[in-house]
């Protein structure tokens, strides 16, 4: 299990609380960011930055933190968001359904690398 903080950026409070639980299950402390600027500031000292890309509020290219692995999840029907996030430099981008099934494991693996 890991230790340290993982920053979460997203607007969906219900799903966000599930991701917070996944972060804890992976052995990390979740830190909620109110906006992209705060997320980038907090990510400078975090193990991982997780971004909910499902609502389109966040531009992946502007969120990728320098040196901090960035993990995004998206609606499974939105291949364009996945493509843009990977092109922007996200370490991993998965559909929301996979996040629900494997979230804690994916978080632990991505934060460890």
pLDDT digits (tens, 9 = 90+) for 14-54: 888 999 999 999 999 999 998 888 988 998 889 999 999 98
> Per this entry, what is the length of the chain?
113
Read off the pTM: 0.89
Q: What is the pLDDT of residue 32?
A: 93
Task: Assess contact for 104 and 22: CB atoms under 8 A.
Answer: yes
Query: Which of 108, 31, 109, 107 has the alpha carbon at shortest distance from 72?
Result: 107
What is the rounded average pLDDT for all residues in the chain?
87
pLDDT of residue 36: 85
Confidence bin at 60 (pLDDT 50/70/90): low
Which domains does the chain possess? 5-112 (3.40.50.2300)
Structure tokens at 76: 């499974």
Residues 6+ apart with CB under 8 A from 40: 49, 63, 65
- Structure confidence at residue 112 (pLDDT): 84
Rounded to whole angstroms, the Cα distance separating 58 from 101 reads 24
CA dist., res. 56 & res. 112, Å (int): 28
Nearest to 75 by CA among 93, 59, 89: 93
**H runs (alpha helix) in 26-76:** 36-43, 60-63
d(CA 18, CA 11): 13
């Amino acid at each position: 299990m890991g230790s340290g903080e993982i920053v979460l950026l997203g607007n969906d409070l219900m799903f966000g609380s599930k991701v917070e639980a996944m972060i804890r299950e992976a052995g990390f402390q979740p830190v909620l960011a109110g906006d992209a600027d705060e997320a980038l500031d907090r990510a400078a000292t975090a193990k991982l930055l997780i971004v909910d890309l499902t609502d389109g509020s966040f531009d992946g290219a502007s969120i990728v933190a320098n040196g901090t692995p960035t993990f995004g999840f998206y609606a499974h029907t939105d291949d364009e968001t996945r493509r843009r996030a990977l092109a922007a430099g996200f370490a991993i981008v998965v559909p929301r359904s996979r996040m629900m099934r494997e979230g804690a494991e994916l978080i632990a693996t991505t934060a460890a690398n």
